[in-house]
């Protein structure tokens, strides 16, 4: 009897020790996941602009939501910054992947665009130079991008796309549309790729919205339907605060059933202050 009790006691002790070891392992895994999550949030926060520029006659707002798969980070990004010629540069893009490598490459794309934009205000030339620069870095990744240069004093708008989702626009008169202008390949694929620049002049108050495909495309419906929903939102919500409009556009992503990260950049234009 005593031998049986001793054996049972030993087995119970071994079981408790095993359970304690498993609990310690689980606790360590939870701590590791917390550290990874904190690192992911910090990376994403520092790679996106801390604040958007304040420009007379132009109000800018943005939104970003991370991927639902993997780490809480992704390659979608946006940017807005003053150009040397008084215009404003507006950019949005989507880098291949949803990991730390994608975020690092995203930082390189943003930095490249800003560096080149300091030398030229031609969006097509900016994308061409940034493409060659990124290829020379031999990162092995690619990125789509849409880049606009806008002068709120004259209403002059120039835009170019590198394999990215088209811009959605609307005016105070109730007109709206999707700018299906031709573009080029995503950045980082073809050396020497050239990107056409489309030029327009806005003569009335309006809004243009830049999105990534995570906003407008998913299992629930195709990109054409997603863009149509965004266009309708921009038309009916034209008078809304840009921040509220950006939030409303981001909610389209919930309808698509996407798991990708998503970004929105909204620019609300008050109109040319003086007639030409």
Gap between the Cα atoms of 265 and 256, Å rounded:
19
Query: Is residue 213 domain-resident?
Result: yes
Question: How many domains does the chain fold into?
Answer: 1
Residue whose structure tokens are 């202050």: 273
pLDDT of residue 182: 87
pLDDT of residue 249: 94
Residue 168 half-sphere exposure toward CB, CA atoms < 13 A: 30
Query: Is residue 94 domain-resident?
Result: yes
Q: Model confidence over 61-90: pLDDT tens digits?
A: 999 987 765 555 667 899 999 998 889 999
Gap between the Cα atoms of 94 and 274, Å rounded:
37
Gap between the Cα atoms of 192 and 207, Å rounded:
33
pLDDT of residue 196: 96
DSSP lists the bridge partners of residue 168 as 178, 209
Q: Model confidence over 170-182: pLDDT tens digits?
A: 998 888 999 988 8
| Structural domain range at position 214 | 48-269
pLDDT of residue 23: 72
Query: Is residue 134 domain-resident?
Result: yes
Residue 203 sits in a domain whose CATH number is 3.60.40.10
Report pTM. Answer: 0.82
Query: Is residue 3 domain-resident?
Result: no
pLDDT of residue 44: 57
What distance, in Å, lies between the first and last C-alpha atoms of the chain?
Answer: 105
Query: Is residue 25 domain-resident?
Result: no
| Three-class SS state of 171 | strand
**Helix or strand (DSSP H, E) at 7:** helix 2-47
For 53, 209, 234, 254, the CA distances from 91, given in Å and listed in that order, are 13, 11, 18, 23
DSSP lists the bridge partners of residue 263 as 64
Query: Is residue 141 domain-resident?
Result: yes
Query: Is residue 161 domain-resident?
Result: yes
pLDDT of residue 147: 97
Query: Is residue 191 domain-resident?
Result: yes
Which residues of the chain register pLDDT less than 50?
A: none
Gap between the Cα atoms of 93 and 79, Å rounded:
9
């Amino acid at each position: 009897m005593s031998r049986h009790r001793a054996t049972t006691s030993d087995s119970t002790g071994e079981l408790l020790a095993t359970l304690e070891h498993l609990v310690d392992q689980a606790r360590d895994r939870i701590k590791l996941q917390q550290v990874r999550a904190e690192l992911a949030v910090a990376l994403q926060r520092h790679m996106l602009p801390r604040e958007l520029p304040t420009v007379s006659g132009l109000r800018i707002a943005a939104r970003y939501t991370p991927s639902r798969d993997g780490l809480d980070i992704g390659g979608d990004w946006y940017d807005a910054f003053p150009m040397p010629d008084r215009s404003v540069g507006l950019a949005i893009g989507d880098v291949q992947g949803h990991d730390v490598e994608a975020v690092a490459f995203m930082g390189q794309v943003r930095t490249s665009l800003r560096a080149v934009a300091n030398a030229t205000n031609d969006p097509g030339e900016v994308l061409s130079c940034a493409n060659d620069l990124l290829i020379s870095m031999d990162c092995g990744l690619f990125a789509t991008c849409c880049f606009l240069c806008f002068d709120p004093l004259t209403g002059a708008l120039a835009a170019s796309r590198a394999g990215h989702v088209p811009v959605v626009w609307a005016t105070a008169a109730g007109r709206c549309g999707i700018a299906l202008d031709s573009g080029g390949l995503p950045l980082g694929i073809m050396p020497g790729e050239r990107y056409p620049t489309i030029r327009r002049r806005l003569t009335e108050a309006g809004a243009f919205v830049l999105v990534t495909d995570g906003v407008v495309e998913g299992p629930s419906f195709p990109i054409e339907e997603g863009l149509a929903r965004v266009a309708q939102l921009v038309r009916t919500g034209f008078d809304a605060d840009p921040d509220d409009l950006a939030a409303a556009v981001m909610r389209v992503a919930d309808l698509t059933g996407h798991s990708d990260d998503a970004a929105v950049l909204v620019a609300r234009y008050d109109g040319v202050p003086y007639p030409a």
